[in-house]
Structure 1
Amino acid sequence: MEAKQNITLEQFQYLLARNEADYLKERALAVRQEHYGNDVFVRGLIEFTNYCRNNCYYCGIRRDNPNADRYRLSDEEIMECCHEGYRLGFRTFVLQGGEDGYFTDEKICRIVSSIKSSFPDCAVTLSIGEKTRESYKAFFDAGADRYLLRHETANEAHYQWLHPKELSLGIRKECLKHLKDIGYQVGAGFMVGSPGQTNETLYDDLQFLRELNPHMVGIGPFIPQHDTPFAAEKAGTVDMTVTLLSIIRLLLPRVLLPATTALGTVDPVGREKGLMAGANVVMPNLSPKRVREKYALYDKKICTGEEAAECIECLKNRVNKIGCNIVCDRGDYR
């Protein structure tokens, strides 16, 4: 891989204090165009279970939320989502869910194998949390290509602020190392504006990303969920998220960088702003309509209309208006 760029804490603080967002966006856009042109890759998101064994303080599907309307998709429903997505032009499917013990390694391997045998020209991404190295290897051998595992924060004290004591930043980092060693295209990431976050903790995130050198980085504004301990906390901002997208593009020039659903939730044109700051991935929702609102990680999540995969034409038009093109291929890391 090419040499990564670096930034000092002083430079980072200077850029934020001086509000150099426009300059950063201009630079980031030029770097993205150098490596990916104006291509924007689409991933079909399938949120297949909202059961979770964890109790993260920011998450609406946390174990101890009694008001979460729980569901699990069957193998048949997951395959129906893929068939519909394939028809619409999707060539990457992202299976995302809580850490749900019902979906054993054997079940995940069976689902991945089914998707790969039905759609051999497609990539399968998993986003199902912390597992053992053996589990990750089994999923990879079954055909999984990519794995998304947000580190959430690379600062130990901040990690403890966001999570109950049974969760550990060290284990999270170890999982990401295992995934890279096995051969996945790996994604990390964090929330912008989460409770307790400072410029110093954000700088730790940037340094961790530099060290990990992932293929993908997913960041989006923190949005409170009304049934969590952080219900009354302030949401993260679009402006800060967009500035960080630009900085990440400059630090990791070839990275695949989503303009996330959370960005589109806090601002109707948030995803366009992300794309104009160096992002190059969008992830419309392929989940069955009846469950979309139940995967409530945060409040007011957009889950119909142009967020929904059925409106891919609307999305293409919006992306075209800012000079980008939706590309219907696997959209691998270059």
Structure 2
Amino acid sequence: MNKLIDRLYLDNYLDKPDLLNLLNNMNTENEVYLLKRAHETRLKVYGDKVFLRGLIEFTSYCKQNCLYCGLRSANQKAQRYRLSIDEILSVCGQADKLGYKTIVLQGGEDNYYDDEKIIDIITRIKADFPKTAITLSIGEKSYESYKSYFDAGADRYLLRHETATPDFYEKFHFKLNFENRKRCLEDLKKIGYQVGAGFMVGLPGQTKEHLVEDVHFLKELEAHMVGIGPFIPHKDTPLNDKKAGSTNLTLIMLALTRMFLPKVLLPTTTALGTVDGCGYEKGLKAGANVIMPVLTPNNVRNKYALYDGKISIGNKVSENKNYIIEKIENAGFTVSLSRGDNIDWRK
């Protein structure tokens, strides 16, 4: 298996049969070697820098009904909230004082925030903080909507593809289909965004074949950013009794993604930090180079519950930042508060 890993390290590619062979026959020794090669790959491209993005979860309303998500529309127990534009700008001001140069605006697919409101939010953030990059993560939209956000000043868009196997995708996503999700990602690339996709590890029924399709989809898309985290069940969803995804397999998928896409911006996720107390550090050592500390106001932070047990550090955004910086430095990496753009991207 180490020969396959070396080939992947050199070529940044394995065909589907070889990748499946690697996943099916991975042992502890191979896993250690894979993570070592992924770490070497990230050092060649980005050095030891870890980029911080401030995450603002601005609405917990969602019109979609995905089986795994605590914010699904059918969950009557979900606590709903919306941040006003002034509240969002207030958090951006705190983030700016702490040195953040990227803000991620994430929320459910909430029709209250129509294009006019989203454009107003983007425009006002850019007016007050012109050197700050804006990342949106607000779901499926039309080409015209995506273009209007980009023209208003949005820089990046995160839209996890979730799974690249159409029938498996539709099993978990009520009234959604993979072809439209793919269309959205292709539209975002055409417009000129830095585009992020990604998937969960350990969804009930997920196979190694599904994971192979995910990695090859990301390679074909040439994603600028990729979010990968373990599935974690939520008590008020139909998947409440299912087992969480494993740390080890999540690390393997992070490492493989880094080697298939050497220039990718790859977060070590809050979900990974939730299932494993050392998850942030382990993700960084597996090739990840981004962390997104949560800046959501403390009075609503726990209401943004995609899954159970989400870690939350301190009452102030500065406490969360300091906690993350300590994690990064203890793992032997250097914090970067720059915009941290994908090195191939130019707007």
TM-score band w.r.t. shorter chain: over 0.9
Q: Which residue in the other structure is 2:140 paired with?
A: 130
CA shift, 1:5, in A, is: 2.5
Question: Does the aligned pair in 1 maintain the 2:294–2:320 contact within 8 Å?
Answer: no
Superposed displacement of residue 317, structure 1: 2.1
Is 1:10–2:20 an aligned residue pair? Answer: no
State whether structure 2 residue 251 is matched by structure 1 residue 242.
yes
Please tell me whether the aligned partners of residues 280 and 327 of structure 2 are also in contact (alpha carbons under 8 angstroms): no
TM-score (norm 1): 0.97
Aligned residue for 2:7?
A: none
How many pairs align?
Answer: 331
Equivalent position amino acid for 1:74 in 2: S
Report the CA distance between 1:15 and its aligned residue: 2.5
1:154-193, Cα deviation, whole Å (9 max, x unpaired): 00111022111x1010000000000000000000000000
1:46/1:212 CA distance change after superposition, 3 Å:
same
Q: Which of 217, 228, 235 is matched with 2:237 structurally?
A: 228
* Number of the residue aligned with 1:96: 106
Q: Give yes or no for the alignment of 1:285 onto 2:294.
A: yes
Tell whether 2:195 aligns with 1:186: yes
Determine the structure 2 residue equivalent to 1:144: 154
1:88-131 per-residue CA deviation (whole Å, 9 max, x = no partner) reads 11110000000000001000000001111111111000000000
8 Å contact 1:42–1:284 — kept in the other structure? yes
* 3-state secondary structure, aligned to 2:43: helix
Shift of 1:305: 3.6
Tell whether the 8 Å contact from 2:61 to 2:107 is kept in structure 1 after alignment: yes
Partner of 2:228: 219
**Residue 326 of structure 1 corresponds to which residue in structure 2?**
335
Shift of 1:9: 3.0
Percent of matched pairs sharing the same residue: 54
Sort the Cα spacing of 1:4 and 1:140 in 2 relative to 1 into closer, same or farther, 3 A: farther
Does the 8 Å CA contact 2:54/2:295 hold for their aligned counterparts?
A: yes
The one-letter amino acid of 2:256's match is I
177-186 or 21-30: bigger deviation? 21-30
Take 1:13 and 1:309, find their aligned partners in 2: how far apart are those partners? 43
Supply the distance in 2 between the matched residues of 1:313 and 1:53 (Cα, whole angstroms): 35
Cα deviation code 1:35-86 (max 9, x no counterpart): 1000000000000001000000000000010000100000010001100111
Q: Report the Cα offset of residue 309 of structure 1.
A: 4.9
Q: In the alignment, does 2:260 pair up with 1:251?
A: yes
Is the 1:58–1:229 Cα contact (8 Å) retained in structure 2?
yes
Structure 2's unaligned 5+ residue stretches are 1-9
Aligned pair 1:81/2:95, yes or no? no
Q: CA deviation at 1:307?
A: 10
CA distance in 1, matches of 2:106, 2:32: 34
